[in-house]
Amino acid sequence: ASDWGYTEENGPHTWQKNYPIAVKGRRQSPINIVSRNAKYDSDLTFLSIAYTPEDEVELKNNGHSIECQITKTGYLTGGPLGNQEFTLAQFHLHWGADDTRGSEHTIDGKQFAAELHLVHWNTKYDSFAEAANMSDGLAVLGIMIQSGEEHPFFSVVSDNVYGLIQPGSMVTIPSSLDPIDLLPANIDDYWTYEGSLTTPPLYESVQWIVFKEAVAFSSNQLDALRSLIDSDGNPMQDNFRPPQPLKGRHVRASFQ
Ligand code: BO1
Ligand code: ZN
């Protein structure tokens, strides 16, 4: 079996063996966001997002998820990040075997069908690898996905999974994709807290920004993700880590 995964043998409850930070850490992710405990913070100014459309879409089955590698410059600043600038590296998803589960963060105990992560690193460092283990190294935008209407811009991913079934496979799709089109319409309302990578090595380097508004994918689009094979040779499904202890952390809200 792989070093880590989502089976009974190598799933989240076993990660602490090779990655003790899984239980010893003070800022592990994901968490359950309790909306009534989140404090409105008027200092949370609007997020400033300046992405560049990709003119080709580079997709990879990394054995744990489907990942889209970003090749154009794209920046995220503002909000909890202040004047620090973060650059978009990749996006990927976590999802369930069915629509009743799949997201990593939960909101007032509610789990969504999937969760999209747009992963950025702080440009004060030289690379993603250098930033990944710094307390202010990464910023991830988390978007809850629910089953509903087909998402016209996610189709470039979901229509091309047939070339990505086996772990390690990569395809480059000659279509454009602007990552901004994957965000909810309302990006003003979000929760934010200090957390970690949700997969090994579980580095405590992530400023999480989780949007209040969910985005819809069709059941066909979600089923396409479920058809992938993971690094254990199983259907890639339920590739989410459950919520972790808050350990005294505070979640802030950008809205009242
Ligand atoms: S997530 O957004 O918290 N689910 C997340 C989890 C892991 C990564 C990015 C975002 N990236 C991982 C790479 C590993 C690498 C590690 C540290 O970052 O997938 O290959 O070892 O650099
Ligand atoms: Zn993720």
- Does ligand 1 come within 6 angstroms of the Cβ of 117? yes
Atom of ligand 1 nearest to the CA of 195: 3
Do 54 and 24 contact (CB within 8 A), yes or no? Answer: no
Rounded mean pLDDT of 75-90?
98
- Does ligand 1 come within 6 angstroms of the Cβ of 119? yes
- Ligand 1 pocket: which of 199, 202, 203, 209 to mutate (most atoms <8 Å of CB)? 199
pTM for the structure as a whole: 0.98
Residue 118: closest CA among 17, 174, 190, 221? 190
Q: Could you give the C-alpha distances from 232 to 4, 5, 213, 237, in angstroms and in order? A: 9, 8, 33, 12
The structure tokens 């972790």 sit at: 244
pLDDT for the residue 2: 86
Distance CA 61, CA 166 (A): 7
User: What tokens were used for 126?
Assistant: 């030289």
- Does ligand 1 come within 6 angstroms of the Cβ of 118? no
Atom of ligand 1 nearest to the CA of 67: 19
| Cα 195 from chain centre | 12
Residues in the chain: 256
Write out pLDDT tens, residues 116-168: 999 999 999 999 999 999 999 999 999 999 999 999 999 999 999 999 999 99
> 42 C-alpha to center of ligand 1: Å?
31
Do 64 and 231 contact (CB within 8 A), yes or no? Answer: yes
Which spans in the chain are helix H? 15-18, 21-24, 128-131, 155-158, 219-226
Rounded mean pLDDT of 217-237?
98
C-alpha distance across the termini of the chain, in Å: 47
Beta strand segments in 96-166, E: 106-107, 114-122, 138-147
pLDDT for the residue 156: 98
Write down the ipTM of this complex: 0.93
Residue 107: closest CA among 249, 240, 251? 251
Do 54 and 70 contact (CB within 8 A), yes or no? Answer: yes
The structure tokens 């589960």 sit at: 101
User: What tokens were used for 84?
Assistant: 């620090």
Is residue 193 over pLDDT 90? yes
**Residue closest by Cα to atom 16 of ligand 1:** 201
Category of 102 on φ-ψ map: left (φ > 0), alpha (ψ -120 to 50) or beta: left
Of 64, 92, 105, 117, which residue is the catalytic one?
A: 64
Indicate if 117 belongs to the active site: no
Distance CA 171, CA 61 (A): 9
